[in-house]
Amino acid sequence: MTSISILSHWPIWRQKPPPARRRDVASFHQPMRPAAQRLSANPTDLPHFVQDSATAMRYLRLLGPPTWSAFPDRDLHRYYGIPTVPFAPFTAACLVKLDRHIPHMSHLREYLVEHPALTWLLGFPVPSTSRCPSSAEIDAILPTARHFTRMLRTMPNTCLQFLLDETVRLLQAELATVSPDFGRAISLDTKHILAWVQENNPKAYVKDRYNKDNQPSGDPDCRLGCKRRRNQRTSSKEPPPTPAANPVPAHTISVGEYYWGYASGVVATKVPEWGEFVLAELTQPFDRADVSYFHPLMTDVERRLGFRPTFGAFDAAFDAFYVYDHFHRDGAHWTAGFAAVPFAERGGHRKTFDDRGLPLCKAGFPMPLRYTFTSRTGLFPHECGRHVCPLHYPTETNEPCPIDHKQWAKGGCTTTMATSIGARLRYQIDRDSEAYDRVYKQRTATERINSQAVALGIERPKLRNGAAIANQNTLIYVLINLRALQRMRTRRDVLHNKAPGDP
């Protein structure tokens, strides 16, 4: 043992570290807010080292249109022991990462270090200077790759939704003269996203791979869902035949492909000769039904466009009464709107109605409404009506059923349906009309958007967190809109500068 008592050091241990010098912190954060406006600056006002960088000028044209000065950033005056990195330059860097197909945050950081002018332009707190900062200076001020990953996971999705708002506003203004009906017809679809877990690897041995109660340890937020399952039900009750190759018992044949992951719902609109554009997006776990995307997405669409779309195109998974009710118009000033959705066979016969809107029984009699009640099944509570046999209600006629219905002995046939007009439109819409075909073709908009999203890596993200995947998906759709806006402006400039007589 030493001769000096350990207690003699106690006062030293009790000393607190010196507080941060607020003037140093303030001086560090002072240039950060103006730095967020660099992407919106006039190219001629930028330093010469930025104007001389082809990479920086390329991303100024691509990322510059949104109003970055209004970006809802976090509190930059708080001190966490290290200087606070704004969300705006990090978001712009993530858009560069997606555009360049950079796989990981470590590679993104290397790319930023190798392009100092781009790092300065994106708004990172590079000291103001008239010369181009060196790669060593950029490496000193950039956060670590791990911190970049943490920021993607913790950044509120509302910040990125602001950028999607901006892109829709810019597209709407750009197309005001060539397409005054921008957003009047929309389509909605979902895209599956595979989680980065071993349960999705068919070569890995996993016990109870498709047990929804066995949550993968690699991603705590992903859920088990089904992909490529037909929305239509066949009327045949016979079991599927046993396959001839690699035979297995017929009762074990899967009716779909199951994965652990997420799904991204997107609303898109199409403008002929100009392209397809994203109006809203939402990411949820894979176990959510497709119809659960409808109301949140349509709320965002109406907020961004300033009006409710008149026509909608969907697949059979959205064959629900509230979808038809949402697009129904009585005497609309533009034209009568409707939803183009294939009919989904869900058992029973297709209902027909009389002139008063009452359903007809199989014998052709209108079935009166006996009572209503609130149904709490499904996505939200709604009013339903119980229609009964007209030979028993409202008065007993003592007449036999002309078709001898199997329920005649039990009081006659009954049917239950929502009282909303959409429940009737689901059966009455003319799916063979030219107007229906014209609206249903709008579904190609979401298919093309999904193809672009797959090319940007939405299907297999190298992330293990639901919040990070949702943020990256929003950035993917923002980038798709920014690319479309850049193509439109390039085409406009070419047409504007075309000489008379040029083809």
How far is 474 from 264, CA to CA, in rounded Å?
A: 9
DSSP label at 133? P
Specify the amino acid at residue 188: L
Tell me which residue has tokens 């996203």.
193
Last residue of a domain, one of 116, 138, 155: 155
How far is 186 from 310, CA to CA, in rounded Å?
A: 8
One domain for residues 108 and 197: no
Residues of the chain with pLDDT under 50: 1-34, 231-236, 248-254, 331-334, 499-503
One domain for residues 60 and 143: yes
Does residue 415 sit in helix, strand or coil? strand
Asked if the structure places residue 488 within a domain, the reply is: no
Q: How many CB atoms lie within 10 A of CB 261?
A: 28
Last residue of a domain, one of 430, 452, 467: 430
One domain for residues 86 and 22: yes
Contacts of 125 (CB under 8 A, 6+ apart): 28, 31, 32, 35, 83, 85, 86, 141
DSSP letters spanning 13-26: HHPPPPPP-HHHHH
DSSP label at 157? H
Asked if the structure places residue 237 within a domain, the reply is: no
Torsion of CA 327, 333, 334, 336, to 10 degrees: 40
Cα–Cα nearest to 225, from 180, 184, 194: 194
Cα–Cα nearest to 183, from 291, 274, 296: 274
One domain for residues 280 and 323: yes
- Enclosing H/E stretch for 416: strand 415-418
Phi, psi of 264 (to 5 degrees): -115, 120
CA distances from 129 to 27, 51, 248, 371, 396 (A): 15, 14, 71, 77, 93
Asked if the structure places residue 133 within a domain, the reply is: yes
One domain for residues 402 and 440: no
Cα–Cα nearest to 264, from 286, 295, 291, 296: 286
Instruction: Note every long-range contact of 482-485, with CB atoms under 8 Å and residues 24 or more positions apart, other chains counting.
Output: 482/62, 482/63, 482/65, 482/66, 482/95, 482/167, 483/62, 484/171, 484/275, 484/276, 484/277, 485/65, 485/167, 485/170, 485/171, 485/174
CB 263 within 8 A of CB 190: yes
Q: What is the pLDDT of residue 494?
A: 80
CB 341 within 8 A of CB 314: yes
Q: What is the pLDDT of residue 318?
A: 95
CB 302 within 8 A of CB 308: yes
Our measurement of the distance from residue 83's CA atom to the centroid of its chain's CA atoms, rounded to an integer in Å, reads 33
Q: How many CB atoms lie within 10 A of CB 297?
A: 19
One domain for residues 334 and 352: no
One domain for residues 337 and 358: no
How far is 209 from 220, CA to CA, in rounded Å?
A: 15
Asked if the structure places residue 138 within a domain, the reply is: yes
One domain for residues 266 and 397: no
Per DSSP, the chain holds a count of helices (H) and strands (E) of: 17, 9
Last residue of a domain, one of 121, 137, 155: 155
How far is 345 from 351, CA to CA, in rounded Å?
A: 12
Q: What is the pLDDT of residue 62?
A: 95
Cα–Cα nearest to 60, from 40, 37, 34, 32: 40
How far is 163 from 153, CA to CA, in rounded Å?
A: 18
Q: What is the pLDDT of residue 287?
A: 93
Instruction: Determine the structural domain holding residue 307 and report its residue range.
Output: 162-207+214-231+257-342+436-481
Tell me which residue has tokens 């590679």.
107
One domain for residues 327 and 459: yes
Q: What is the pLDDT of residue 375?
A: 93
By residue count, the chain amounts to 503
Tokens coding 5: 């008592």
Total number of domains constituting the chain: 3
Asked if the structure places residue 245 within a domain, the reply is: no
Q: What is the pLDDT of residue 230?
A: 54
One domain for residues 104 and 142: yes
Asked if the structure places residue 490 within a domain, the reply is: no
Parallel, antiparallel or unpaired: strands 185-194 and 311-313:
parallel
- Enclosing H/E stretch for 194: strand 185-194
Asked if the structure places residue 296 within a domain, the reply is: yes
Asked if the structure places residue 493 within a domain, the reply is: no
One domain for residues 423 and 454: no
DSSP label at 366? B
One domain for residues 280 and 358: no
